Amino acid sequence: MRQTWRWFGPKDIVSIDDMLQAGVEGVVTALHHVTTGNVWSPDEIARRQRELSVMKDGQPSGLRWEVVESLPVSEDIKKQKGAWREHIANYKISLKNLADAGIEVICYNFMPVLDWTRTSLAWRVPTGATCMRFDYADFAAFDIHILSRRNAAADYPDEIAETARARHAAMSAADRDALARNVVFGLPGAAENFTLDDVRRHLDEYGSIDAGRLRAHFIDFLTEVAPVAEDLGLRLCCHPDDPPFDLLGLPRVMSTEADYQAIMSAVDTPANGITLCSGSLGARPDNDLPGMMERMGERVHFLHLRNVKRETGAIRGSFHEAEHLGGDTDMVALLAAALREENRRKAAGRADWSIPMRPDHGQDILDDLNRKAQPGYPSIGRLKGLAELRGIITALSHPKVATLD
């Protein structure tokens, strides 16, 4: 497994030197400054490659840009409106430019409007560390009483809607603002600048797009881009919905194993693959992560290793981001399944046998609490997660340990 790390570019407070000291082998990054829908030019790609190739003192880092996360799919493509055909053409050009630069793995997602969604970005756990949390009743309070989406209450179980009403009534104006800011943070495109009216406008655009329609648009997109990726020797990999259930009345179509199976078989090429994110998928009790790795592993091109603790037994419910070996996903079983998949690939002579993985999100611990990184991406919390995951991989791969048979 390749031990990779997400880097947000030179403005990331976590440096290339930090990554090297964490034992990172490859970099996951994106051209976050390019407007979604536009082409990623060879010059901009080369610039990012140069930036991550040197340490603070100018020595070579020895690191390469190994995974793109994300090459975003525009809202126009998802809705098949406006400039969607041009955006698909641009997507193909970006793929060509990335292939020319020697980058083979391209992660993206197909969530309408919202990317990942949380109600709290710094929720205190008993150790004093903080983590991101999704509280279903707080989210309902945002949806029903702050965003005031029409008929929103009907989307929630009665007891959640009632709790949401009571909590909203007890919140100060500042609490309401903070909740709204946290919820819209994961929105694509400089979310900090989103207003509630922007969110409402985006939601209205999906009025006539249900899950079936969104899935059809997704298949149309892949029918166009997957053959191009295949010809270029690229591996596309779709990140799951986070959380893996419908929000704000928007359809979500990459939340379960059945969702993935439908998309994988609709456009049946290895270039159409999976980013298996255990944290996102693990927020649902009916997603069996080790089993998904076992059954769909052939198409898993990228692994996000993260754990969540579900706070209820419901399909839609509250959860928080646990330590990498805490939470509800059996990380040892998941890694064993991934290592078995690698062994199968090696035996079949596949050049892509080594699956890039990264510790996806970490809790804020120690000095992370004093240096605010991108939410979910602190240096020490992720370094701890990576070290724990590396320990399991090392143990499971040891020739004297027969656990993989």
Contact string (CB under 6 A) for ligand DNO, positions 56-95, x = contact: -------------xx-------------------------
| Stretch 50-79: interaction string toward Mn ion, x if CB under 5 A | ------------------------------
Which residue from 122, 114, 116, 161 is spatially nearest to 142, judged by alpha carbons? Answer: 161
Binding residues for ligand DNO, how many (CB under 6 A)?
14
Residue 304 annotated to the active site: yes
For residue 352, the minimal CB distance to ligand DNO (Å) is 20
Of 360, 363, 373, 386, which one interacts with Mn ion (CB under 5 A)? Answer: 360
User: Rounded distance, CA 88 to CA 83, Å?
Assistant: 9
Find which of ligand DNO, Mn ion, none residue 115 binds, CB within 5 to 8 Å per kind.
Answer: ligand DNO
Q: Report CA-CA distances (Å) from 226 to 211, 285, 319, 348.
A: 21, 31, 34, 23
Residue 66: CA count within 13 A, CB half-sphere: 22
What SS3 string covers 296-314? HHHHEEEEEECEEEECCCC
Of the candidates 117, 105, 275, 252, the one whose C-alpha atom is nearest the C-alpha of residue 194 is 117
Q: Which of 87, 168, 217, 304 is catalytic?
A: 304
Q: Give least dist CB 277 to Mn ion, A.
A: 3
Q: In sequence order, what E strands does 166-214 have?
A: none
Residue among 168, 202, 239, 324 flagged as catalytic = 239
Work out whether 280 is an interface residue with ligand DNO (CB under 6 A).
Answer: yes
Query: Using the rule CB under 6 A, is 40 a contact of ligand DNO?
Result: no
- Omega of the bond leading into 70 within 30 degrees of 0 (cis): yes
* Residue 6: CB minimum distance to Mn ion, A: 9
Q: Which residues, including other chains, have CB under 8 Å from residue 202's CB and lie 6 or more apart?
A: 75, 113
CB of 360 to ligand DNO, least distance (A): 5
Beta bridge partners of 274: 238, 300
Q: Does 118 bind Mn ion (CB under 5 A)?
A: no
**Contact between 308 and Mn ion per CB under 5 A:** no
239 is catalytic: yes
Candidates 131-139, 210-218, 298-306, 363-371 — which segment interacts with Mn ion by CB under 5 A? 298-306
Q: Is 218 buried (19+), middle (13-18) or exposed (0-12) by CB count in 10 A?
A: buried
Q: Is 174 exposed, middle or buried (0-12, 13-18, 19+ CB in 10 A)?
A: exposed
CB-nearer residue toward Mn ion: 109 or 318: 109
Tell me how far apart the alpha carbons of residues 22 and 29 are, in angstroms, rounded to a whole number: 17
Residues that bind Mn ion (CB under 5 A): 277, 304, 360
Catalytic center residues = 239, 277, 304, 360-361, 377
Site residues, ligand DNO (CB under 6 A)? 69-70, 107-109, 115-116, 239, 242, 277, 279-280, 304, 360
